[in-house]
Each structure stands twice: as structure tokens, then as C-alpha cells.
Structure 1
Amino acid sequence: MAEFLQAKDNRRILHVDIDAFYAQVEMRDNPALRKVPLGIGRDPDLHHGHGVIATANYIARRAGVHSAMESIEAKRACPNLVFVAPDFEKYRAISGQIHQIFHEFTDMIEPVALDEAYLDVTANKMAAPTLAAQLRHRIWQETQLTCSVGVSYNKVLAKLGSEHHKPNGVTVIPHELAQDFVLNLPIKDFRGVGKKTLEKFEKMGVTDGRDLYAMSLDELRVQFGSFGDVLYWQARATHFSPVKDRSVRQSVGKESTFELALHDRSEVEMTFKTLAEKVVLNMKKKKLLGRTLTVKIRDDDFKTQTKGMTQAVPFELDAAFLARQAMLIFDEAYPDNFSIRLLGLTFSNIVEQKYEAVSLFDSL
């Protein structure tokens, strides 16, 4: 039966994971944080010992700090840990921008969190490793953030691949190498194996994929219940779940990057007008509306500002109005001199347009 279920899978799937996402964003926006151990979370000294680490940079991770760790415990592990309170509005806006890039490669996207997603690129004619390289380049070019990408024929292998070479790496696991890759994988690296499961495996003398492969399905079910089935098929480099496409995009937007910085307000106005026209055209074409409008501005010092406005009802798709709103935000951020390298305009909180607006005068 196992041989029958392992029919060759011709899917091409990427798993994209932005490296230490929240921490990387804060280091990008404040370069002084790049050389210190950084934890995204509340400082326990300022919040009566409370707080949890959302993520940490790699300097802090080497000192023993990790996600979901209590802040007070993280400070014990790394006394010089620098805490930065999370800014989820900013992270959501950047995540929306990254998902916009994903849609340049495929519309078969399954978001997992703000910082990771599965992409089914089977329909794209370009080779999957080339797509992974181009995707990483586009994300870096537009956001100055690095990511790790796993490339394979199912979701589990793609996820294992993205974790195999971090940060800022690509791991390709083709059919002919998949079984050897899994057989040599430490048992702690298998998907779903947590602390308690790992302790149980250690008592059983199971240390890697080869040991796991030697266990029968019945043995695994007795020891781990329904999770035993998951482990059994992982050890055989097999996973059946498809990328679960979301029918409505998370965001729709456009950006312009300038080789020569903008210093003139009229140039900024013209750029926002052009961006608004493109976004409106795209939204109308896809019959979508948005409740949140986000403006992104990056200056010559690579300081990035994002500011969004949300309405109870979707925005009217009027390019002139949207451009004026963008300029109001810009003028508030840069009332005097400026040197701008990037401008962006994005809709999020997307909903499908259930009707088409028609003027009463059209029939007269």
C-alpha cells in the first residue's frame, strides 16, 4: 500500500520564511540594533516581570533566547538583551507588501503567518530553483529583508528545506534526493516533534529519520496516536495536503523605487497619482475593494515609514482621492526638506466587490 500511495508527485512548492521577521524589520529601521542581542517583546523590568518574546535576532538566539520564551527568562539567559516592543501594524503592512510580491509568481498561496507562506508554482514555466532565487531577490530589493526558501514537491519537504539553511538560504530537495535527506534528518527536526515527543523518542533510541523509517505504522500509532501517521509518511518523504489557495488576496498595491532621490513635492504628487491609478485599475480588474489604505515612504537614510488608515466601509476606487490622501500622510511625515527613495500605496482588508457602481445618469 505504501508504494501505491507514493505515486510520483509533480507539484513544485516553495516555502518562504522571512528570517527573524520582526527583529529583522526593527534592525532594518534602526541599524544600531544590528550588532546587539535583540528581543521583540516587553522589557520585564518595565512591566513588572511580564512579557513574552515574539522573536529574537540571531545574536540573541545564540545566547539561548527563542520565540515564546518569557521575557524575564530571556533576560536571565542574555543579560544584555535589548527589548523592542512589537509594532504589529507595521509588520502587517510589510507582510502585505511581501504577499504582493508572491502574487507576481503565483496566485496559489497559503499564508501560514505574517512571516511565512507556501507557494505552489507548478503552473509557472520557470524552474522552481530559479523562481526561488528571483523571489528572494525581489523581497530584498523591495524590503531589504532576507528570507530562506525551501523548494520541493510537497509542503513538508519545502518547510524542512527552508529550515535547513537559515538565515538567507535556499535548499532544493528533488525527488531523487528526498528520501536520503529525510533519512539523515535529526529526529528533532521533523515537523511536529516537540520537547515531549523528543524525550519519548530518546527513550526509544530513535535519533534520526533512518530510525523513524524502521518503525512500522502500527508501532507509531501505538506510541503517538494519529500523529504516528504523520511521522510515518514524513519518514517516507511523503505529504498529501495541497497548498490551500486563498481566493481573495491579502493586499493589492504598487511601489516605485528611485535611483535618484526625489526632492520636489510635485514629483511626489505625480508618483502617488501614478501609483493610485495602477492600484485602482488592478482592484477594478479583480473586482476587489479595500478597507485599509497604507502609504509607505523610504528616505535616503533607508528609514521606512508606513501609515495606514482604516474605514468601516471600503474606500471608493477614486485614484485622485487616494493620491490626495497619500499626500496628506506624506506632508505630515516630511513637512520640510526630504530625500525620498521609495513610495508605495497598498490596499489591505480586502473584500470582494459584490456589486458594480452605476451612475443614475448613465441611463438618461
Structure 2
Amino acid sequence: MSNLRPLPEAHHLMFEQHLQKLQDHHLLRRLRTIDSATGPTAVLEGREVILLSSNNYLGLATHPTVVEAAIAATRQYGAGSGAARLVCGSLMPHHTLEAALARFKGTEAALTFAAGYLTNIGAIPALIGKNGLILADRLCHASLIDGCRLSGAMFRVYHHGDMHHLERLLARRPAGTPTLIVTDGLFSMDGDIAPMQDIAQLAERYDAMIYVDDAHGTGILGRTGRGTLEYCEVESRVPFHMGTLSKALGSSGGYLTGSASFIAYLVNTCRSFTYTTAPNPGSAAAAAAALQIIEQEPERRLRLWENRARLAQGLLRLGFDLAASQSPILPIIVGDPDRAMTMAQSLFAHGVYAPAIRPPTVPPTTSRIRLTITADHTPEQIDRALVILEQAGRAINLI
């Protein structure tokens, strides 16, 4: 028997009507239970499937060294951090990770957050306020958009990757307006890379700051895996670098790196740092261990890109539309959300899990199957997945 007070009938009806509307438009979502680690395969709702939806690009979430680091830190420091770091004290695993991140990114200092989302919704308002202007790429991640809105600054969106549109907006702003250009480094739903050389040139010409969310680029892009800014050769032209610990690093959390004064400024002004319990020590230790592996085992990145090439070439050979992907994120554009759902269900029925991505996550008429490949997938798994993808694509007349 529930101890909850019964929901007022009007509220219950409102919830049900909204859910039915989502169902009618093939946009209803539900949680699916995975009863295993998220490796190249996973046990999903009782059956083993080839997992093509994880952002665990380098397979580090299950790497024995990373797992053992999390266990050891948990044994020593506990499962939780107790409180925010300014309240309860700052645990050594957080300091160790931040020092490692600063070394990895070539900056003076770093600050970690419990999630990438918290990093963005706290840092952007700390950088610019209601007297400023934010110009953001149309396909920015939701956390960036929310951070922009929370800042209170004037907020304008430029067409995706369109530097002519961005420059027009910069040229039209009132003289002396503090300006922040906001973009993803590697876009999570299309798999393309922001034109960072052009953005840096415009920022310098019009005296604007740049804020880049490199959640998906960190660990996989660039000669040493430092991310999109290294790949685009603009690291020294962007004063602070944001990323997450939850993709290629196989842990959880977000981070910012930059000058010591910038990090001290965030400690004193960033609400999502000040008022949030610190990340658990096990996650911090796991991320620090993952950074070491990224630096010591570059062959993981090589294997990831070999797998990406094998999957992408196979999909193109079959006739799939992959949009403009330049990364291990390979979206198959379907268009209609109902057809995308039908294809995802067919894939799952035959042993591949790659869910349909539908509005509002992506623009209308661009529903897709978003595939992500990892370093740990075997050639046999990729080839088997291609057979299943071909069957599912032909079943809905997509190829």
C-alpha cells in the first residue's frame, strides 16, 4: 500500500494527456534496464545484444585499472563525498584528478563537477551576465542552451556551423557588448566537428570569448587525445577548456581547465559548484586512472578509429545516409519518428541495441538511429551489426 497522498484528479489527467500526446506522435520514451556493464555487448532486458549506443568510446569504463582505482578510493574515502567541497572539505582524489587534468590539457589548473550538465549551467552564467551577448550554435547540447538562458544575457542562435551568420551577428551587436561564443566541439547527435579555426579567428577579430563543450571530443580527438581544440590546433587561442569524464574517460562528472585565476574565480562564483555535493571519490579516482591509460595506450584511439572506418564504410556501402559525421558517432538519418522507432525495434529484435533519437533531442524531420562505435568492438561484431542494420533498413525501405 502506498503512503503517498493521492494525486489530484486534474493533475493526474494532465499527466496522462501529455503522455498520450507523446505516444500519438511516437515520441514517448521509457527506461530500459541493462543488467551488465556497457561494453561492446550488454544484457538488455534479459538478452545479450551488440551495444551501439554507448559513449564509452575507449572501453575504459570496464578497464580493470580504472575499476580497481574506483574500488580503492571508495574503500579509503567512502561511497560519497559528504557535502559540497567548500563545506565539508576537498578530498584528495578530487585534487589528484584536477592536477592530472591540468597536466593533460596543458593548463595551470582545473576544476571538476558532478556532471557535465552542472559544469555548463554554472560556468556560462559565471562568465557572462545580463549586460552581455551569447551567440550559440543551433545544435548546441541542451546543457549549453540552459546555461545560456540562466545567464540572463541576450541570447542569439547562429545556423549550425555557419560562420557567415555568426559574423553577421557579431558585426551587428552594440559597441562594447561583452560577447561569448558557445559551441560544442564534437556535436553529439550529428558527429561533426565545429570549425574551431574560423570561430577562433572571429572571436579574435570581434573581441569575443569562446566557450567550447568538448564532452565527446575529449580522449578521442587530437594527436594525443586532448580533444577538439588539439585536433583543430587552437588550444592556445581558447582560454578555458570544458569536457566531461563520462564518455571516453569511462567515469562520471565534468571539468573545466584554464588559468589558476580562472579556476579560483569559478570556485567563488559558480553556483553549480558551490551548492552541489562533490563527485564521489571513486569516480574521481577512476577518471584519473583513465587519463593515465589514454596517455600510455594510444593504440586504443587507433583501434577506435579503425572500427569507426569499418562501420562507416559498411554503412555507406549499404546506402545509408550518415549526415556529416567525422567521428565515432554515426547517425543514420531516418526522418519520421515512427519509422525510426520501427527500425530501432527491428534492430533490437535481431540483437543490436541502437535506439531511435527523436525530437526534441534532434530537429523535426531528422529522427535517426544514432550509432556509436568503441575501441572494444571486434570486427566480427561490427560485421554482424551491419547485416542486422541492412535487414532493418530494407524493412522500412530506407535503403
TM over 0.5: no
TM-score (norm 1): 0.27
| Structure ID, larger Rg | 1
Larger strand share, 1 or 2: 1
TM-score (norm 2): 0.25
